[in-house]
Structure 1
């Protein structure tokens, strides 16, 4: 595969989503939502709902309970069943959770609604779980078209396969000879198409490469590999257009999928990256059941702010929560910005901003009171992000606005020291270790660099509050796999341990999906623990993930999910 050091950011954490070339939807930009006004008063009167079961509150002052009283969606009492007799009435609905364990609802602090909504029905061509080329071809051959007669696939990642093979035109022609096929690489820097798709787009052997992109060729003939946004646009523009209704319906489907995984609160990490400012209005129109926060993307932030959006505007179900900077690319796609070259390559990735520009833009966000999220995968980019934070904060602490570094993947001890000094916290894509750990060791970084990946224990030792995220759809909603990976640090393939010194306990890992994720997303006043005054957002699990063997945590299943005390998912 041809790799370019100059690159466009990936969609999943990207400033220039290639999917925007497909979703050319004209959507209205309604007036921005008003700043949230949330009462801190505990509702009075008897409980409308009483939930009973084996309850772990994560509140150190009252770690265990048997019953939760709920009124107006808030917790009004927590304690033993006998203690809560006084808050129930003849009209109270009794919910017996039975077996299993109840915990606070989980929080997903970094995922992607919009790109995921566009590709929700595309064929899963990922190689994360050991699928090879033959498996992917079989899926595509059996697939129903997504829109009109187009067969569409996503998440193909050759870095996890021996020799890093491409899905060539010849392979795709053999799989589906009579309909157009388009498969997106997991990095979103490449796509793969068959002959019918090339013909639909008007591309042939004589078509010149556009500036900044390429059409893969062998002996002068197109291979079906298309690289970088400038070339990908012509293929994506040939796709039939999705509708606004299709996208909004898919947002709701994704939200329900998150509820099924135990998440009662999710945060979109690149709002505006596909449809621009219109995404804000569409978020607030969506019929969500789980709570949603969104981080506005820096490249469209000025357009979004022109409508009057302010930090935390919205309501208890959907609100603005952060300002996002995508400062480099993907490590597994070799576009993250490193201090040194990738293993066996003569490049180290590149930043998406120069330091002066990044600092200027971050200073604007900070001055307007926005929490900042900086996507920084490579250690070189973490250096740049920290330099920008230091200049912006100018002696003050990032703790007030709870500024973050996203992914913060290959992090050196001195960088963690700086984060602690500046008051900037990390959010780790912990399943990097599980899915890509072997590839990082063997092909991309080497063992010494890979040992720096997601240094959870070192971050906690410095007093940093840590969250973990899926980066959905970079990885699926797998919260208990994230927790198990933080505890064991074992890879999926070989089972090798990536730096055992960075292991943490299951309780520390669970904090990263509850208490500390709530803090990072400015929702700790209403989420993260089960206590009086907070929302009755809960997850009922078949087992206690803190009581099972470390290699069994990932098998934890969600039996029920509650939002505002109401059951919104049941297995």
Structure 2
């Protein structure tokens, strides 16, 4: 049983009744007192260890409310394809090929054709730099893939292969596959790539934990699948899981989850069941997000709708029977509208059937029709958003959505209407560094200051306090743990980060530079710089 006093720091508690304190008393992983040094000392036995923080700043530990933990951990081993030019991406693949045995798959992630002058790549270009390896490179959005000829051959994709449901194989003028696959068409190749084994996934996640602690993350909401869940359970059983993880359930496993009686919130202090993850549409980058009107400059293309409101209601009623909330991916304004229509009906169902008022979410909420902005607050739906998407995608949004971008990533508008915001990164789509997300939410700028001193649609900027709440108390509420996580006050877990610089006195344009000196989880220092 460990007990100690932390003092001589500015502790931002995120408790409105006591915003700052001078000291914390920690006992057996919990905060038992917060206040002056004298007040905190009275909660501990005489002679308890004292840790002098030398005037530093302390915040509650931060939570990434939307990432793909297995994908992120494994991607640390992949080719980094997030390059300013297509040529640089190809050079990196070529370099990887030189150190990879022939016939072994080369994996990469992060390319974005929207920032490359030439646009999409093709199989022939990859063939030139990796002629002896099948290559599979996922787009930054994770909604498209770029493959070479060996990968197409391995998957049996040729001129005669039909587009799968909810997917598309890009083809040239002769109808031959180009090497670009959208949405479910990616699965044609993914199913022939040797999967990472459970031990490999477990080790990758364990190795990734220090990366996350070093960014200030003490918790994550994960949206990967069964293998990730199994790896997390094994890590917890071995006493090697040192992140607070909320684990979603893929829609394809809903039947099994209901049959065994899983509920949202079930689990331990380290690993808990989250929501059932569904996809209502695709993504902005490949123009598969479902829109009410066609994309700018495209006369007929308006994206792909995977689920309509009736289908979502049916899924939601099945999930509610077991106390499972929903977390629905929705990017385009049409997809968001369908999800909101469904949630309106599910709220009625919950009342009529005397069922719990579940903490449903929409993942991303990237663009809304002005008439639908108030509906999240009206139906008490959590907006799970990724601020760094706004600054990463703003040029693409302006290009493809035009004036509709006024209500894209509409943080302040939604907050002003009473919507609860919870923030994440969608890693490995973006970096999970929460200070990059905080900077994006507060400035609506990239690190360079682009696009203007006031940021992109500056009326949607948040205050630093609002942004921090979206990484602390709101994720805790979303997980049903608002009485134990997200604040520095008595009764809460001692999850915190120590900063050299006070973010409330840091110029907003420099917030992305912040990095913890130390990270504590459950009263244990897990990381130090």
On whether the aligned pair clears a TM of 0.5, the verdict is: yes
Q: Which runs of 5+ in 1 are unaligned?
A: 1-45
Q: Residue 225 of structure 1: SS of its match in structure 2?
A: strand
Aligned to 1:191: 145
Does the CA-based 8 Å contact 2:258-2:322 persist in structure 1?
no
In structure 2, C-alpha distance between the alignment counterparts of 1:146 and 1:499, rounded to whole Å? 49
Counterpart in the other structure of 1:359: 313
* Per-residue deviation, residues 174-215 of structure 1 (Å, max 9, x unmatched): 33344443322234444333345456x2758x6632442537
Q: 1:465 to 1:228 in 2, by over 3 A?
A: closer
Shift of 1:75: 0.6
Whether 1:114 aligns to 2:65 is no
CA distance in 1, matches of 2:231, 2:427: 18
Instruction: Pick the aligned partner of 2:513 from 555, 565, 570.
Output: 555
Cα displacement (A) at 1:135: 1.9
More helix by share: 2
Structure 1 residues 555 and 376, CA, compared in 2 at 3 Å: closer, same or farther? Answer: same
Deviation per residue, 1:337-376 (Å, 9 max, x gap): 1111111222111221232111111122234322322221
Of 445, 457, 460, the match for 1:490: 445
* Contact 1:483–1:506 (8 Å) recurs in 2: yes
Distance 1:376 1:207, change over 3 A: closer
Aligned match of 2:387: 430
Quote the residue 2:216 is aligned against.
262
Q: How far apart, in 1, do the equivalents of 2:409 and 2:208 lie?
A: 26
- The aligned residue for residue 160 of structure 2 is 208
- Aligned-pair CA distance for 1:218: 6.4
- Relative to structure 1, the CA distance from residue 404 to residue 141 in structure 2 (aligned partners, 3 Å threshold; closer, same or farther) is same
Which of 85, 93, 98 aligns to 2:41? It is 85
**Cross-structure match for 1:300:** 253
SS at match of 2:374: helix
Deviations 1:264-298 (A, max 9, x none): 111113444xx598578557557311111112122
Whether the 8 Å contact between 2:159 and 2:177 is mirrored in structure 1 is no
C-alpha change, 1:116 and 1:134, in structure 2 (3 Å) is same
Question: Aligned ranges for residues 220-299 of structure 1 at < 5 Å?
Answer: 223-227=178-182, 229-230=184-185, 232-233=186-187, 235-272=189-226, 275=227, 285=237, 287-299=240-252
1:422 to partner: Cα distance: 1.4
Superposed, which structure 2 residues align to 1:394-433 within 5 Å?
A: 394=348, 400-433=357-390
**Do 1:47 and 1:87's aligned partners in 2 also have CA atoms closer than 8 Å?**
no
Confirm or deny: 8 A CA contact 1:271 1:280 kept in the other structure: no
User: Whole-Å Cα distance in 1 between the matches of residues 416 and 144 of structure 2?
Assistant: 40
> Aligned partners of 1:256, 1:229: CA distance in 2, in Å?
33
Output the CA distance in 1 between the equivalents of 2:357 and 2:103: 50
Among 401, 406, 421, the alignment partner of 1:466 is 421
Report what 1:153 is aligned to. 108
State which of 275, 285, 290 in structure 2 corresponds to 1:332.
285
CA offsets, 1:208-227, max 9 Å, x none? 32442537456687644345
| CA–CA distance in structure 1, aligned partners of residues 101 and 114 of structure 2 | 26
Cα deviation code 1:456-486 (max 9, x no counterpart) = 1112222222111111111111211211222
Q: Is the 8 A contact 2:172 2:178 kept in 1?
A: yes
Task: Select 2:51's aligned residue among 88, 95, 103.
Answer: 95
CA RMSD of aligned residues (A): 2.9
Instruction: Verify: 1:69 aligned to 2:25, yes or no.
Output: yes
1:65-118 superposed Cα distances (whole Å, 9 cap, x missing partner): 222111111111112223333344477343333353100011111111233344
Q: Matched residues in 1 for 2:148 and 2:198: separation?
A: 28
CA distance in 2 between partners of 1:61 and 1:75 (Å): 16
* Distance of 1:317 and 1:95 partners within structure 2: 26
Aligned counterpart for 1:538 among listed residues 482, 496, 519: 496
- 1:399 Cα deviation (Å)? 9.6
SS in 1 for 2:415: helix
Give deviations 1:380-437, integer Å, cap 9, x for gaps.
Answer: 1111111111111118689942222221111234323222221222122211211110
Aligned partners of 2:363, 2:101: CA distance in 1, in Å?
A: 32
Is the CA contact 1:54–1:100 (under 8 Å) kept in the aligned structure 2?
A: yes
Is the 8 Å Cα contact of residues 281 and 290 (structure 2) preserved in structure 1?
A: yes
CA displacement, residues 307-350 of structure 1 (integer Å, 9 cap, x when unaligned): 34233221101111222222111122211111111112221112
- Counterpart contact for 1:450–1:498, Cα < 8 Å: no
Q: 1:220 to 1:389 in 2, by over 3 A?
A: closer
* SS of equivalent to 1:97: strand
What corresponds to 1:376 in structure 2?
A: 330
**1:320 aligned to 2:273?**
yes
Using the TM superposition, name which of 551-560 and 209-218 deviates more.
Answer: 209-218
The 8 Å contact of residues 433 and 491 in structure 1, kept in 2 or not, is answered as no
Deviations 1:498-549 (A, max 9, x none): 2222222111111111122221221211111100000000011221112111
Separation in 2 of the partners of 1:412 and 1:211? 30
Match among 506, 514, 517 for residue 475 of structure 2: 517
Whether the 8 Å CA contact 1:334–1:349 is kept in 2: the answer is yes
| SS of match in other structure, 1:296 | strand
Give the total of aligned pairs. 515
Residues 410, 259 of structure 1: alpha-carbon distance in 2 compared, 3 angstrom cutoff: same
Shift of 1:489: 1.5
For 1:114 and 1:311, how far apart are their aligned partners in 2?
A: 21
Moved more, 403-412 or 214-223: 214-223
Q: Contact 2:145/2:180 (CA < 8 Å) preserved in 1?
A: yes
Cα deviation digits, residues 112-151 of structure 1 (max 9, x gap):
1233344441111024xxx211221222222243997332
Distance in 2 between the 1:404 and 1:202 partners?
35
Within the candidate set 4, 9, 15, 1:59 is matched to: 15
Question: Partners of 2:484 and 2:178 in 1: how far apart?
Answer: 53
Structure 2-normalised TM-score? Answer: 0.89
Contact preservation (8 Å) 1:321, 1:522:
no
CA distance in 1, matches of 2:247, 2:101: 27
- Report the Cα distance in structure 2 between the residues aligned to 1:339 and 1:503, rounded to whole angstroms: 26
What does residue 165 of structure 1 align with? 120
Counterpart residue number, 2:432: 477
